Structure 1
Amino acid sequence: MTKKRKHQEDFQKVKLKVGKKKPKLENATDTTFKTKTIQIPEQLKEDGMLTAQNRKLNIKDLLSQMHHYSPSVKQNALLGLKDLLSQYPFLIDAHLSSIISEVAAVFTDKDSGVRGAAVHLLQFLASKIRAEQIAPFFPLVSAHLSSAMTHISEGIQEDSLKVLDVLLESYPALLTDRSSILLKNFVELISHQQLSKRLKSRDKLSWMLSVNPNRRVTSQQWRLNVLTRLKRFLQAVVDGSNETEDEGLQEQKDSPHSLRNPIFISWKVHANNQQHIHLYENGGLRPKMNSSFRLRSLASVMDSAEKGLSSAENLKGFIEIIIPLLIECWIEASPAQSAPILGNLLESDCQQLMQQVLSIIHLLWKLTKRHDETCKMELWLRMNYLVDFKHHFMRNFPYSLQETVKHKKKDSCKGNKYCMASSNSVDHLLLNLTLCDIMVSLASASTLQADSGWLDMIRKFVTDTLQDGSRLNSKQVNRLLGVTWRLMQIQQNK
């Protein structure tokens, strides 16, 4: 067979007989398959429930839209997320990490509508999430809050205070754990570092109040907003320190061989409910533990920067920064120097700012008394700030309100010229008593003669308040008793 014929046989078509099927190739693929239907009604029903009613989007779709470039899409996603979570609260626990991270990321969004929707969603979530649940994710929330407070945009800074309000209301203990960072942010919101020759000599940096004409509110109103939040933050720090002092084992100063009084029980008398058994000494308040050891708290392990205001060094550093700024705010809000000394009239906005200034100083004074070296701290405060306080605070003392008294509230403050009710609910009697409490804490028996000038003014004001006979609320009574006790203590130790 020639080569030409072999080549033709390779390409020659095989003729099949009629009625016979074509034989399968050796490398043929079987494409047949069988199908069966599987019905899961519960799964299909649950998938339908997890969608928002307005646009039929589930939680994953809404969270993915948080990264969209359009502000309207992100705002609608936040509104839809709030609607979805309000209908199905069990989704919060299942997607808590994603929800917290996405909501916190839009604290610094450029659009004000998106930030407002994020604040409303955060307020809704705060009512549903416990502090134990959000604690692992709170460092992320705090980082985004700090970024918003120090942002270059004025609108983002203003909205960061709204976020701070929600966190202070729901998670004060978690927020105060990061006081070292947040306190610096408070200072930067109302001031800036002063460029002077001190920077070259590497001394402590000085701060001065800043004025930004681009804000929607005045500089004084902005400082009032910031100082109001700072006062609430410091109040949370003080309340948190009160709780930690009552926890854990405390070192006992009593000797281990102290006498114990035996208890004699008459079972007949006890059966007739005529005698009670005291389980502990001291009236059953707390058991005494005869041990010279105590548990070491986590605060002793942390660095001084992480301790926040619980460290005496950090507290002194913050006082050195904030007190000069508070004095500048007081000078701007205080009445003119040409005004009469007694009963200086104040406008409502100015008095609100002055009240916040004194409240912050009063809380800082409380924190100084929590440290072991209280006497040294009081001496340090007197040496650094007594002259400025006498010059600015006591010059126009006492202060009263410029507004007229309403007739409906006239009877409640009858006869008290320092207790005038106003429509803005500013208590200037509490302002005067807070000022008295701050000043008398700087006085002592050894300096009684040197401080006789301004102490006589405080004694006269306290005496007039006690003899006036007007009704006082709980805060006023507490502050008045504190000032009276301090004055009696100074006079007694003379």
Structure 2
Amino acid sequence: MTRHKKFLKSEKAKIKLKGAKLPKGLNVTKTEFKVRKIVIRDQIKEPTIVDGTIVRSNIKDLLSKLQHHNSSSRNEGLHFLNEIITNHPQETSKHLGAIIQGISQLALDIEKDVRKECFKALNLVFASQTSNLISPFFNIITSYLRCAMTHINIQIQEDSLLFLDCLLMYSPSLVASNSDIIFSCFLDMISKLRTEAKPDRTLTTNVGRKLTGVKWRSKVLDRLLGILKAFVAHRKHASMEIQMDVDQASNTVIDDAFKLPIEQTIMGGSLQKTQFSFDDRNDFFISSVRKQLNRNCDLPLLFRKTGCVATANASNLLMERDEGQKFQKYVEILMPLLFETWMEARPASNSKKSTAEFINEDVCISNEAAFTLKFTIEIIEQLLEFIQMCDHDVNNDDLIKWFRKRYSQEFSNQFLNEFPYRQTDGFKGSKRKSKGMATEQDVFEAGGQKCIQQNLNIAFVFWTLSKNSRSNQSLKTVIEFIKESLACVDSYGTDVLQILVKVLRTILVDNSQERLDTTSEIKELLSTVVVLYQRGKFPKEIRTRILIILCDIVLDHKLYIAYGQNIFSNWLSTLPKLLCQPYVSPHVLKTFSHLTRQKNPIFIKHLEESKDAIIANLPQVNIIGLTNQTQEKQEIINLFFWLKSWKPDQSEARKNQLGNEWPMIEKVFQIKNYY
């Protein structure tokens, strides 16, 4: 049987379905169907127009986009939000709380690109809004900052330092007022508790980080230094405001005080300033009542703090004491960590060498160690400055005495045994070719090859802490380094010069009285400073400040006698010539008045030689920083009262030349003749 016949037989065997066929025209497939329209809402939404410009999305939509599960969508939302913040700050201020909340939470995002975009947005927010507007929402910012600083993810923890940089750049006062909240997080980033029962801490190892332990701690210490600087600046600003209140209260005159008894005026109510018209033909007396004296003053406040001012009372004093005690606890935790950090970063010391053998041998340290040394010393310096401010507020020196007793010897052991320091040479080439080595730029940023900034800061802290120290060898080592630094003073930058002036003031003025009898090197240092000043070696930026230091020594009679008058003889002979210059410092003028009252023979002799040039310069001279020039010019003219043979030129030409200054000269001359 063929294949075709088999196929036909199988077809016949199939079951046939019988049924009626559809009529022609009805057996056509219908292609008609009904569906709902698909509507995409964002595509038909009209754009928002603000200040004549089109905003692609409104703020609420963008904030919701920041919570999208896709990182690209979050990045896109931040990008468009940055445009609104930059171009429409008024719209931003209306939704400031929601914007700060939405952006800050992305500091904890797992994606690094999102975190970077988040910090850019925060920079724009802080730059476009004032601190007063941000202040109500700052607790939200600090909450996310603390979460980022203590996050289990190491990358988020490292990027939290960028978060803090934003705050320190644009809102340092807010950071300072919340510094106690952030401080503990800094400790957790580089250390851990030894035991749960005690607050003592120890450094943690750097497991899982791309950075070395020393470099990571340097980054953390850099930000801690920024917070301490903001904190000290905030405290100084607050102290200045209090002092302004005191001055204003001191100069307040009670309304109608000359008509009523003082008791009635005090009880009478508000304090008001009154304008008086004076009649020189009659005696006129005004009772000056100081506002701060009209307040009740508790005895503890009276004996602990000089002056009961209007803005200070017993509760404020207790608050200041509590603040000092709280800061003392922070110092007790932080100082051992700083010492331990430096012990890990510094080169291994050779125990066979004594301290004397290190005097003429600079110790080379790595670039990472130089950065660590820089931040560590500057942090200790800020701690000292704040401690001195706390002591000044409560009118005692308990804190600084405690700090010296507790850490003076430890500081000397850690930093002075190998003093002074220097860095190893940097790689001469690009960062890419250095293969991890420190480049010349890195060496420069860490204080230069000679580490002059670090060494000067060490000298300053050491001299401040060792006020009652008897370690003459360390004192001589520091003074020898300062003298070597003065030899090349004209090559330093502004930052180094500022530190140098601070060190010289500390050695020569603040803490020299106790050591002049035992340390002759201080007198040699002063002689070097005087000679360099006379030769004009000091740069213009600090020349006036060096002059003020020398003037302060002259104003302190005991210090002036202790140093010896011979050191100042050549310098005193050049001082009257300063009055022939167009600008004079009021501090220098005060020194001149003091020297004339003391009848200093050297100064008066050269003042008499320069009197004609000084009088001719009176119309042109300006006293720096003062608006009332007439009163200060009177101080210059008063110097001539102490000259033995002085008679002013009374020609009409000289009178016309001097103008308003001539009546003052004539009056001083009349008084001199009378006496």
Global fold match (TM > 0.5): yes
Give the match for residue 337 of structure 1.
349
The one-letter code sitting in structure 2 at the alignment partner of 1:193 is L
Q: Report whether the alignment pairs 1:473 with 2:473.
A: no
Q: Output one character per residue of 1:190-226: Cα deviation in whole Å (capped at 9) or x when no partner.
A: 111113xxx5xx4x42111111321121111111111
Give the match for residue 415 of structure 2.
393
The one-letter code sitting in structure 1 at the alignment partner of 2:447 is V
How far off is 1:404 after superposition? Answer: 6.2
SS at match of 1:369: helix
After superposition, where does 1:357-372 map in structure 2 within 5 Å?
A: 357-371=376-390, 372=394
Q: Which runs of 5+ in 1 are unaligned?
A: 1-43, 258-263, 268-286, 407-419
Give the match for residue 414 of structure 1.
none
Q: Output one character per residue of 1:398-445: Cα deviation in whole Å (capped at 9) or x when no partner.
A: 011221699xxxxxxxxxxxxx9944352411111100111111122x
CA distance in structure 2 between the partners assigned to 1:318 and 1:442 by the alignment: 18
Give the match for residue 413 of structure 1.
none
User: Does the C-alpha gap of structure 1 residues 153 and 379 become closer, same or farther in structure 2, counting only changes over 3 Å?
Assistant: same
CA contact (8 A) 2:165 2:223 kept: yes
User: Does the C-alpha gap of structure 1 residues 133 and 329 become closer, same or farther in structure 2, counting only changes over 3 Å?
Assistant: same
After superposition, where does 1:358-437 map in structure 2 within 5 Å?
A: 358-371=377-390, 372=394, 374-403=396-425, 422-424=443-445, 426-427=447-448, 428-437=451-460
Q: Output one character per residue of 1:1-52: Cα deviation in whole Å (capped at 9) or x when no partner.
A: xxxxxxxxxxxxxxxxxxxxxxxxxxxxxxxxxxxxxxxxxxx987356999
CA distance in structure 2 between the partners assigned to 1:68 and 1:45 by the alignment: 22
Larger Rg belongs to: 2
Give the match for residue 483 of structure 1.
503
CA contact (8 A) 1:122 1:166 kept: yes
CA distance in structure 2 between the partners assigned to 1:243 and 1:401 by the alignment: 37
After superposition, where does 1:49-448 map in structure 2 within 5 Å?
A: 56-195=56-195, 199=196, 202=197, 204-248=198-242, 249-250=245-246, 291-292=292-293, 294-296=309-311, 311-338=323-350, 341=358, 342-371=361-390, 372=394, 374-403=396-425, 422-424=443-445, 426-427=447-448, 428-444=451-467, 447-448=468-469
CA distance in structure 2 between the partners assigned to 1:159 and 1:50 by the alignment: 36
SS at match of 2:100: helix
CA distance in structure 1 between the partners assigned to 2:249 and 2:60 by the alignment: 60
SS at match of 2:151: coil
Give the match for residue 47 of structure 1.
48
**Structure 2-normalised TM-score?**
0.54
CA contact (8 A) 2:168 2:227 kept: yes
SS at match of 1:192: strand
How far off is 1:483 after superposition? Answer: 2.4
CA distance in structure 2 between the partners assigned to 1:46 and 1:72 by the alignment: 22
CA distance in structure 1 between the partners assigned to 2:135 and 2:289 by the alignment: 34
CA distance in structure 1 between the partners assigned to 2:74 and 2:365 by the alignment: 46
Give the match for residue 19 of structure 1.
none
How far off is 1:255 after superposition? Answer: 13
CA distance in structure 2 between the partners assigned to 1:51 and 1:80 by the alignment: 17
The one-letter code sitting in structure 1 at the alignment partner of 2:483 is T
Q: Which runs of 5+ in 2 are unaligned?
A: 1-44, 254-276, 281-287, 296-308, 429-440, 516-675
CA contact (8 A) 2:252 2:289 kept: no
Q: 1:461 aligns with which of 461, 481, 498?
A: 481
CA distance in structure 2 between the partners assigned to 1:390 and 1:429 by the alignment: 18
CA distance in structure 1 between the partners assigned to 2:348 and 2:237 by the alignment: 43
SS at match of 1:151: coil
CA distance in structure 1 between the partners assigned to 2:106 and 2:128 by the alignment: 20
Q: Output one character per residue of 1:79-102: Cα deviation in whole Å (capped at 9) or x when no partner.
A: 121133334333212221211111
Q: Which has the higher contact order (CA 8 A, sep 6+)?
A: 1
User: Does the C-alpha gap of structure 1 residues 299 and 352 become closer, same or farther in structure 2, counting only changes over 3 Å?
Assistant: farther
SS at match of 2:422: strand
CA contact (8 A) 1:330 1:357 kept: yes
How far off is 1:300 after superposition? Answer: 5.4
Higher alpha-carbon deviation: 361-370 or 142-151? 142-151
Give the match for residue 548 of structure 2.
none
CA contact (8 A) 1:194 1:208 kept: yes
The one-letter code sitting in structure 2 at the alignment partner of 1:143 is S
**Structure 1-normalised TM-score?**
0.73
After superposition, the CA RMSD in angstroms is 3.7
Q: Output one character per residue of 1:283-303: Cα deviation in whole Å (capped at 9) or x when no partner.
A: xxxx99563353447995799
Percent pairwise identity: 24
How far off is 1:147 after superposition? Answer: 1.5
CA distance in structure 1 between the partners assigned to 2:86 and 2:47 by the alignment: 16
CA contact (8 A) 2:145 2:163 kept: yes
Q: Output one character per residue of 1:321-370: Cα deviation in whole Å (capped at 9) or x when no partner.
A: 11111111111221221387221112222101110000000000000001
Q: Output one character per residue of 1:48-79: Cα deviation in whole Å (capped at 9) or x when no partner.
A: 5699989x432221111222222222222111
Name the one with the larger helix percent. 2
CA distance in structure 1 between the partners assigned to 2:74 and 2:335 by the alignment: 42
User: Does the C-alpha gap of structure 1 residues 231 and 58 become closer, same or farther in structure 2, counting only changes over 3 Å?
Assistant: same
